[in-house]
């Protein structure tokens, strides 16, 4: 099913019992975030939420609209997301016709493809311009923009579909870049250094020219998704949305800038960026689960706000996983697999688990044919578009179901040889990576868990699994290492035995030093993997521990090897030699807001 507007999508969600209308009075300052965070943490992603009575605005707020596998399928008009990569594969594998009959067979596909490019429609068909506000009437205050987390610098537009063009107007970019509200007519434009929007902006800055921008808030679901998709440079996101919709995206010309925006958008902001004007933006509670650091970013000056007569404000929150962005990311994982295979045909499957927040962990399975193929693959991925941000890549054989956490864990803990299977590299990292000593780049970890074939190195250090080995008790470890505040030994029958421990850190390199002492103590030699975390961590929550490991380590610096044993220092590195970044605060909602939501919860969701 295709949608002409966000409103049609909302109706569809409601008919499928995937939407909850909340009529209770709520504040856009923190309250909506706390409610949504609780819902999105439910096992199935919870429901989409439509807040109809938001303090300070007459516009309802839609959130968590894409926050489940079921809603992603509904949004993209398929019963199974795998249909979209199959369709992509079909076009990628078109062979040049060698006969008239083959040409005739291609006609249906070519006719379908003719519907993909966007089309310009008249202003009368642009429902996004039913109301036009310019001059002194421009006021972002009419929109119920959220402050998501307590330490955010203010209110942020978090699902803006930002449209701009190259300086020669030959290429269009459509992307999602958060926007901090400064006043009623201006916001920040937070495009990371590696993104196309920043690349376009850099060209305007070099020539000292003003850059026009337009921002659509709330459009049909295919457009919303396509704006988030990591398309190759130069591929038009509206064209991609047309491919998903199997119909062209109608665009209408803006009122005050020379750009086109989706005609059915709910709200549109038009304006410009003067490259000479930069302003402090952030901090912001980001998808890593930590606050991203503040910094100077371009200012978006608004010349017009247009909107439907009765618009819906589409927004999202990010924070500790899983959130709505996880499901959007999983859609990207599935949809872009065929494109990756065009360059790396040995790839069978890919998995980006929630604990890896997209860029911290990528798991791949391959059809292996020659020695060191997994390492070649890792190096190739680290040079490929947004995959180059991946901090950790794990490669398995094609026979492994890498969508199964159980299968992955069993192989990892029973077969990995730390003296042979690890591949350390260096390269660029996501702007939000705070663990490396310097911003934007650091070390990367590759783990080759494919079966070794002729020509590959044998195990360097034998480590036999002994079912009769008696593991130490957590109490023994805490008695010997009094700096530790808690300890948990995982129940694991296999080659590697794992212990999580927490430490109240009082001096530099304390984490690595306690790892050295632990690994040198023969009494605890049966523990082959020791993970040391900050004292406040809950070591009984394994998924949170994994999220912390992936977020908080620079592999080359924080993994300490002792033959086929390893200690991993996950503690804060502020003040330690060589660490030049700011170690951010973890996102936490205030107790006051939690209590307010507690009081409203039962009524909002009609719980008895």
Question: Hey, which residues are catalytic here?
Answer: 286
CA separation for the pair 16, 2 (Å, rounded)? 15
Rounded Cα distance, 367 and 369, in Å = 7
Residues 6+ apart with CB under 8 A from 340: 347, 350, 384, 387
Instruction: Provide the token pair at 365.
Output: 């399975």
Contacts of 2 by beta carbon, 8 Å cutoff, 6+ apart: 77, 220, 222, 245, 246, 247
User: Is residue 477 a contact partner of residue 499, using CB atoms and an 8 Å limit?
Assistant: yes
Report, in angstroms and rounded to the nearest whole number, the Rg of the chain calculated over CA atoms.
26
HEC string of 48-111? Answer: EEEECCECCCCCCEEECCCCCHHHHHHHCCCCCCCHHHHHHHHHHCCCCCCCHHHHHHHHHHHH
Q: Tokens 């509904």 label which residue?
A: 74
Q: What is residue 13's three-state secondary structure?
A: helix
Number of other residues whose CB lies within 10 A of the CB of residue 66: 26
CB atoms within 10 A of CB 438: 12
How many other C-beta atoms lie within 10 A of the C-beta of residue 47?
21
Residue 101's contacts (CB-CB under 8 Å, 6 or more residues apart) are: none
d(CA 329, CA 223): 15
Cα(64)–Cα(62) distance, integer angstroms: 7
What's the Cα-to-Cα distance from 306 to each of 27, 146, 225, 250, 262, rounded to whole Å? Answer: 24, 20, 22, 16, 12
Sign of CA dihedral 539, 545, 548, 553: positive
Residue 531 contacts residue 549 (beta carbons within 8 Å): yes
C-alpha 267, offset from chain centre: 24
């Amino acid at each position: 099913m295709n949608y002409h507007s966000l409103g049609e999508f909302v109706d569809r969600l409601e008919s499928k019992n995937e939407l909850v209308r909340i009529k209770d009075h709520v504040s856009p300052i923190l309250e909506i975030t706390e409610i949504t965070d609780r819902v999105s943490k439910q096992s199935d992603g919870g429901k989409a939420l439509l807040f109809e009575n938001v303090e300070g605005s007459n516009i309802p707020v839609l959130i968590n609209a894409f926050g489940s596998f079921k809603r992603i399928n509904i949004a993209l008009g398929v019963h199974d997301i795998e249909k979209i990569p199959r369709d992509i594969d079909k076009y990628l594998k078109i062979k040049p016709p060698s006969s008239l009959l083959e040409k005739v067979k291609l006609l249906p596909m070519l006719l379908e493809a003719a519907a993909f490019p966007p089309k310009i429609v008249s202003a009368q068909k642009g429902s996004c311009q039913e109301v036009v506000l310019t001059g002194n009437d421009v006021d972002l205050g009419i929109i119920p923009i959220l402050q998501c987390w307590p330490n955010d610098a203010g209110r942020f537009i978090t699902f803006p579909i930002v449209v701009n063009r190259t300086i020669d107007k030959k290429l269009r970019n459509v992307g999602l870049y958060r926007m901090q509200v400064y006043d009623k007519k201006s916001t920040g434009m937070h495009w990371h250094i590696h993104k196309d929007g920043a690349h376009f902006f850099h060209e305007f800055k070099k020539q000292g020219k003003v850059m026009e921008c337009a921002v659509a808030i709330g459009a049909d679901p295919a457009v919303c998704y396509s704006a988030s998709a990591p398309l190759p440079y130069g591929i038009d996101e509206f064209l991609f949305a047309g491919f998903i919709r199997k119909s062209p995206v109608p665009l209408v010309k803006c009122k005050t800038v020379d750009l086109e925006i989706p005609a059915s958008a709910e709200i549109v902001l038009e304006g410009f960026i003067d490259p000479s004007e930069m302003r402090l933006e952030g901090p912001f509670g980001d998808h890593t689960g930590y606050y991203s650091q503040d910094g100077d970013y371009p200012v978006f000056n608004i010349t017009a706000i247009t909107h439907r007569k009765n618009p819906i404000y589409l927004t999202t929150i990010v924070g500790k996983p899983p959130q709505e962005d996880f499901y959007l990311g999983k859609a990207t994982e599935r949809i872009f697999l065929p494109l990756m295979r065009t360059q790396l045909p040995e790839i069978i499957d890919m998995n980006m688990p929630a604990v890896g927040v997209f860029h911290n962990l990528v798991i791949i399975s391959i059809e292996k044919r020659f020695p060191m193929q997994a390492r070649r693959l890792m190096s190739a991925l680290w040079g490929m578009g947004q995959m180059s941000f991946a901090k950790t890549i794990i490669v398995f054989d094609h026979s492994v179901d890498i969508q199964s956490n159980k299968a992955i864990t069993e192989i990892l803990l029973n077969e990995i040889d730390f003296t042979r299977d690890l591949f350390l590299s260096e390269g660029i990292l996501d702007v939000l990576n705070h663990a490396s000593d310097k911003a934007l780049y650091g070390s990367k970890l590759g783990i080759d868990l494919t079966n070794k074939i002729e020509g590959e190195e044998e195990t360097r250090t034998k480590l036999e699994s002994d079912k009769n080995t008696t593991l130490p008790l957590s109490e023994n470890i805490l008695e010997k290492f009094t700096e530790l505040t808690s300890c948990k030994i995982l129940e694991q029958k296999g080659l590697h035995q794992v212990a999580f421990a927490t430490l109240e850190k009082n001096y530099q390199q304390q984490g690595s030093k306690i790892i050295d002492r632990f690994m040198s103590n023969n009494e605890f030699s049966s523990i082959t993997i020791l993970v040391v975390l900050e004292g406040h961590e809950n070591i009984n929550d394994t998924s949170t521990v994994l999220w912390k490991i992936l977020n908080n380590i620079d592999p080359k610096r924080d993994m300490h090897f002792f033959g086929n044993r390893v200690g991993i220092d996950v503690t804060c590195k502020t003040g330690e030699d060589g660490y030049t970044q700011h170690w951010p605060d973890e996102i936490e909602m205030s107790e006051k807001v939690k209590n307010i939501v507690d009081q409203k919860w039962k009524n909002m969701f009609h719980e008895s």
